[in-house]
Every structure is written in C-alpha cells, then in structure tokens.
Structure 1
Amino acid sequence: MSSMLIRRAADLRAGAVALVLAGSFGCASSAGLRSAHRAEQALDYDRAVVEYTKVVRADPANREARTALDRVKQRAAQDHAYKGRRLAGLDRFEEAVIEYQLASELNPTDPQIDAALRDARQRLRTKIRVNRGGRTELESLIERTRDVAPPGLDLPATAKLPTSLVFGNGATARAVFMAIARFANLSLVFDPAFRDQPLSIDLRNATLEDALAAVTASTRSFYRVSAPQTITIVPDTPAKRREYEESVVRTFYLSNADVKEVIDLLRVVIDIRQVSAITATNAISIKDTPERIVAAAKLINAIDKARPEVVIDVELLEVDRTRLLEYGLQIASPGQPGISGSADVNRQNYTLENLRNLTAADIFMSGIPGIYYRLLKNDTATRTLANPQLRTAEGLAASAKFGERVPVPVTTFAPIAAGGINTQPITSFVYENIGVNIDITPRTHHDDEVTLALRVSLSSISGTGFANLPTFGNREIATTIRLRDGETNMLAGLIRDDERSVMAGIPGLSDIPLVGRLFANNHKETQQTDIILTLTPHIVRVLDLTETDLRPFRLGRDVGVTVPAIPGTLATPRDREEAPEVPSELTAPGAAPAVPMTTPAAAPAAVPPAPVFPQPLQGPMPGIPIPLTPPPPPKKGGGGTGQV
C-alpha cells in the first residue's frame, strides 16, 4: 500500500512539473503572439514578421502563428514592392533595387516582383553607364582623336555637290572628274598613265567622298590628296600603288583588349603587315596605308571594351538527409512522376461564390526550391559550410578554397651510390587541400542571362589506413548551367554516409564469440548527410556597345579603294539641309532638258559643248581653262576632255 502511494505521489510530482513547464512555455508563446499582433496592428509588418518567426520557431505546431506569419509576409512584400515602385519613379534605382530584393525574399513566388526587380537592375546599369563621368585625361584625349583621319584622306569638309548630279550616255571619266572638281572648288591632276573611257553614273545625293569613291571604283583608279585643295587621279595598278602609296604611323593605346589578340585580328582581317606591340603601355604601333589605318581604328574601337562582370552569391549547406525528406525536396532522388511545384490562387479572401469565376490569370505556379530553401537555412539541422560572394569578369575563373592543407608523406627509393644496388628511402611531404574548393567561370548573354561553368569539390579525412596514413573522402560536381540575372539555382545529391559502432562491456566476457554481445553495451549510429549548393548570379557590368560598333564598313579592293556607303547602314550625306542650293541638273544628251546652272560669277562666257553639259553655263568655273571658240562636236561614243 505504501509503495502504491509513493508511486502515485511521484506521478503527481511529474505531472505538476509538466504543467509548470507547459504553462511557462505557453506564457512565452502568448507573449510573442501579443507582441507580433501589436506590430501588425501598427502596420509595422517587418517587425511582425520577426516576431511571428520567433513564435513559429519556438512552437512549430502553432497554426495560428504560421497563418499569421504567411499573412504578414505577403503584406510586408507588398509594402516593399510599393516603396520600390515609388523610388524607381524618382530615378532612385539603387534604393529601388534594395526594396525589390526585400520584397522578393518575403514573397519569392510573385512573378511581378521578380520582373520589377530585373527591370530596376537593368535601369540602374543603364543609368550608371550613361552618367559615368569623371573621364581621365587619357580617355578624353583618345575620344577626341578617335575619328581623326590620317594624312592623305583629308578632303575639304566644306565641299558640296549638287543634289541632282547625273551623267548619262556619252559622258567620259575625265569629264566626270572635272565636273566634280568644279563644284568642289578643287584643282585636278591626272597621272600621265590615266586613260579616258566612257562613263555613265548617277551621283544624286552623294557627298564628295562618296562621289570620288564611286567614280574611281568604276574606272579602276584611285585618288590621292596631294595638296590641301588638289587631288590626283591615278590608274589602280600595283606599280602605281607602290609609286603613290603613302605610309602612315599611328599608335593605339588599348585599355581592355589583349595586345596579342588585337594584333592577330588586324593581321587576319585587314592584312596589317607592319605592327608591333608595346607591352609596357599595352599599346600597338602600326605602319601602313591611310586606308588600312582608318580600318584598324574602327576595329580597335569596336573590340577595346571592358569585359562584363558578375557577382555570384555562393552558399554551401550541409543538411541531414532525413530533413530533406521531411521538407519534401527529394533533390537528386527518385520521386513520383508528374510536375514538381505548387499551385495557388493569386488573390486573397476568396469565397465559394468567387471560386466559380476563376480564370487562368488567377492561378500561378511556383517552384519548390525557392520556398523550402529558406526553411532549410533556418533549420537547426542545417550547417552552412561556406557563403562567399565571388566577383569576376567574363571568361575569367573565380576560385574559393576553404579548409586546411594536410601533409601526406610520399616515400621514394634512390640508390646509395652511383651504380650501387642498395637503395635508401627518401620521404617527402605533399600537402592536400581538405575542405571546400569552388571554381566558377561565368559568361554573360545579351538577354541578361549568365552561363556558369562550375566545379565544386568537397574533401575530408575519412579515416586512417596502413601505418596510420590518412585516407580521404571526396565529393565533386562539374557542370554548366544557365541562369537569369538574380535567379537562384540549387544543386544537391552529394550524399555522405557515416556509420559508427561503439561496444562497451566486461573484458574477456564481451569477446566470447556468439554470446559476447550479451555482456556488452552495443551502440550503432548511422548518419546520412547531403550537400546543397545554391548559386545566384548578379550582372554588375554589361558590354558597353554603341551603334557605331555594330555598323558595318567596307574595305574595298585590296583595302585601297573606298567603296560608296551602304544606304541605311553607313554615314548619310552630311548636312544636306545646310548645303548651298545649286539649281542645276546635269544630264546626258537625249535626256530630259536640264535647268540652266548659275554660279556666283557675273561675267558670261562660252563653254565648249560637252555631252555632260548640253546647255551653256553662265560664269567661268574655277580651275578649268575655258577656250574662246567651241571645238567641233564630239564623235559618237566620245566626250568632252579637259586639261589642268
């Protein structure tokens, strides 16, 4: 009877202790809920999220706290998204990106927040690129001299041609050159080897450079500016090229491009022969023709760009395998067939009547890893092994190594003396990296996506072997993935099994076969862990391309003849609206009647009738001698000639 009373008293004491503990725990939980409610009523949703999270961690079975936590997270995300939109409207994109990031952390399944975050980041990069000021003196100097033409190509910038300039049947090349020289107020010189030939060409809306390029290309000739107002027309032959070829030397100072790659490109594309690198200043010097120098400048300006840069958030977690199963991730494990994800309604406070009017726009899908990843980070069974932020340029590998280096003895045998048989052991040590090794090489794309070439290895000392030498366990991932800017990717499946057996018993008796375990305490522990790697790339610098870099240009025959501009892609005629009006139309005989042309000169003079000038012109043309009497009419297929 007394023993029963003692047992009942013990049970009562235990129950009292349990009630006291439950009461204290309930009081703590109630206090946390009250604090969270006050923060929510004060519209301080960030504080409410913190308070409700504490309650959920302390009491995971509290459904009221879990529901309230989900509610305040949604409202806090909406609050931060509203602040982000307001800041973006004020062009304060740095602060807007921070607000959108907070909203995305609170509600990672909202596609509108993710889209707004990407848009804010893109606008921030554009703003930084446009407003980047404070150019150095060297940058300003290079910018000013980028389009400076080398000697030999400097035609008068003020020379204008008529907007309607047509040479029909019966015109000759010499007459066309002479007419262009008249309108441009240039002196014209023909090489003695130049041969006249019939030429019919339409030069309407052409600049002086385009007109000369078109005529020289049609007559297999080229021109050289031999004086400020004088051009020489030369037949395009190898001998004449060597005779009139002028060499120009120019030095290009590279800021981003590799000297060797630039030299290889110039030799292959433009056939630059005389080029040398100056490694001390990262520059190259080129000696070649003016045309090749201009082409080389365009190529160098297009490729001498800073590489895009990426910041990669890397987080390496070690998680108990049973924890992954509890959260339902089943990463890298056989799972049920079907679509992995969760469906939800994109509204709140739905009634049964509202559910009848649901449309496809009211339902959205969300992936599992983004949600449960945050739960795993807050779990006590999860351990963070490494959390670095790696910043690197495109095409360059970023490495991070965490751990220690363990010496491993290596023994070799060498003869004692030359020609001897006996050998002696020589021991040296090799250091092995034990821990986490991460190597990432990024590549950016024009659609704000990043390709990551990834290699992750985890090594540890798994035990000892012969002569107490260490044995190593290694887990390694090598893959290539493509992610959006700000997208988080999760990799898992590096499973590790640890099995431990402990036996404690009476010496001698515990060693008896078969029955020895009866006299011993046996403990066997099996632990399975998995490694989860998360990667989140952020593009912080993009390739700074301009329209000029994407615009094509022609090199011509042997890079020696300039070809007319491609309409719509190359430079258009300059300042046509500011050009002085020349009321003239040059046509060939038999064409529509031309309008008489006038010049500033007032004294009338007779001009020899030529096929390109069917009607008399008023006033002398500069640079062209005018005969007093007109010559006989030209024969069929011929044309007027001129001499300077």
Structure 2
Amino acid sequence: VPGLQLKINEAEAKLVLLGEADSLDEKERVLSALSSVKDKILDLATIKEERNLVKIDMQIFEISRDDIKKLGLNYTDSTVLTDNADKALNKITDMFATSKWSRAQLNVTINHLISVGKIRVLSRPKLVCLSGKEAEFVVGGQFPITKTTTTTTSTTSEVEFKDYGINLKIKPIVKDEEDILLAVSNEIIEIDSSVSVSGSTPAFSTRNTKTELYLKSGNSLVISGLIKNQETDTVEKFPGMADIPILGILFRSKNFQQKQTELVILITPEIVSGSSSLEGKDIFPEAGQRKYENKAERALREFRGKEEKGYSSGLDSYIDDIKSQIVSSIGYPSLARELGVSGTVKVRLRILSDGWLKEALVVSSSGSELLDNSTLRSIKKLAPFSSFPGSLERNEIAVDIPIVYN
C-alpha cells in the first residue's frame, strides 16, 4: 500500500508498521491482511485524516488583581502581552488579551505567582479536537425552577432545570505549520438575585462575547472579567452554588468576595498531530531539544532507545531534563491549597533505558496523602520519558526529586 511500510525490529521481535495511510479503511485493510501475526505487529502508522489535531491546554485560576499585569493583562487597554512581541494587535474586547510568551515563560511566571500565594489554580482541563471542529467546555450547574400549572380542577407542579455558569466554545483552524485561527465565544449565564418571581425564583442574566484571532502554535489567549464579584451575593441566597465544581471554590473565596482577586482563563492551543505539522518541531521543548522527522519515526526511535543528534548527553543532563519536565507540569492541588495543606514530598523514580517508568514511589512523605498521591499521579501521566542518550550505557537509573508545596 502506498505510504505504508513494514520494518523488522529484531531486538523486540516485532514487525513495525510505519508511514501514513490515506484513510482509516486503507490502514485497517493492511492490518487485516496481517491478522495472522497481529500479536507481533507494532502499529505506528498515522492517517492523513488525523492530521491537524489541536491540543487545547486551559488553566483556570484566581489571581490577585495587583498581579494581573504580571501576565501582561491590562484592564484599561486589553493589549497584546509585550514580552518578545514584535508588534501589538488591535484591541479586541475588555475580556480578551493575547500572549506572545512561550509556554516555558508562562509556566515560570505562573508557578512563581502560585508559590507566593498570588494565584490559586481552580482547574487545568485539556481538550483535543480536529482543525475546523468546535470544542466546548462548560463550568457551572443547573438551578431548579418550579413551574405551577393551575386549571379549574387541579394544580400541578413540575421542576425544570436552568443552566448557569460559563459555556466556552473554541474552534481552532490550522492555517499552516505554526499559525492557528482561533475562534472563541463564551456565554455567561448568571443568577440575578436582585430580580425574582414570587420571591423565590430568581431571574437570569446572559452575556455573550466572541472573537477571532491568529495565534502561533503554543502562544496563549487570556480571558478575564467573566464572573462579577456581585455573584457572591447570590451565593448567600442560594448556597448550593458554592458546591459546583471550580466556580464554587471561587464563590467561597473571601478575597474574591472583597474584589481583591479575579477569575482568569488561559487558553493555549498547540498543533500536535500529523507528520507535516511535527516535522522540524521540538517535541520536548523544555527537555533536551530532541528533534524527529515525524511521529512514527520518533516513536520508533524512543522504542529502540536510540540517541538523536541534539539531545543532551550524560547522566546529569538527562536527570536535569526529567526534573525540568516534572517541575513545570505539577500544579498545587486546588483542594490542598484551599485547606491550607503544605509540605515537601520526595519521590523516587526508576526509569528504564527506553524512557518507561518502572517505578514511582514516595520515599519521604509530605505528611498529606492528598499531596503525595497527587504528585505520583502527575508524574505517572508524564511517562514515558525520552530514552537514554547513547552515552548513557545503563539499563535503568534512579532519580530522587523533592517537590515543595508551600
């Protein structure tokens, strides 16, 4: 089949299917023809239809109003973040601003603000969608409304549920290897406790905003001003709102109630799929600058544990790369921060030469199962890591990493 090829991996006694099929049906026909040896097949082939997948990383956090400008967001101007910016874009709306920062720069800034208590992370959802398709993220709940119908003979009541909260719709369109046209619309439905029917049924207010803009893959859009501080008055009248995911934590925040903090959503789209979009890109931008020709070849090289040009050599460099990945990826669990839990957890990782995580365990507890378990889960999600460089002639290594939650 054009575009597909089989290679023999003698070390693992596997047949490796590589290349790019024109369609899923074409790939399945090849796999069907190899069904007699299916247990020996390592399928690394991609499909052209899967090209231009976009990963959308979102961070939802509560930030001190005095520190919002450290992210480049200015309430009065709503202009482009200026760090490394070659030119400013036109104003969009009071809710939107864009970031020219790299992910590493943003992580450093956000992690610093988290460490000094200026940011409280409420959620870190991740979405993946095809270019041109719409992804939707909803934060909120449903409010019960009783409807009473009276006739000449009887009176009946039924309960309907009205949605409220934030409905965020994101539609990324990949224009080339680096540029993404991002269409973002959001609807904010709030309970208006100042207006009610029959004294118990509240009214609802709705706000809608939308924008379209170009972003480089990996750059960020910042959205703020979604939730009014007056919403806390509604929580006092309808306590159930304080229990909804994400927003409930915000509504219970004394700083938010006193208008000292703001809800901010950071959206970072990144092109992650397709050989044409991956060619020449840094797959591990924060750990070793290792480059591959395409997704299939990258996976095969990691599987065999071969060294690539440009990858840091030596044990110390490799361990530093692993630590960098972990530290930049771990966030303070929102529940632990809310409860005031802090501590230092030391974890020991045993990593095999092909990058697979053989073992992860806590060797020194923080004193909190919440922090210990959250740390292990976050690290396991990162595995497998990159394979050992050629100069590191070992079957496995052990790495101790302390993580401080303060």
Asked if TM exceeds 0.5, the reply is: no
What TM-score, normalized to structure 1? 0.26
What TM-score, normalized to structure 2? 0.39
Structure with the largest fraction of helix = 1
Q: Give the greater-gyration-radius structure (CA).
A: 1
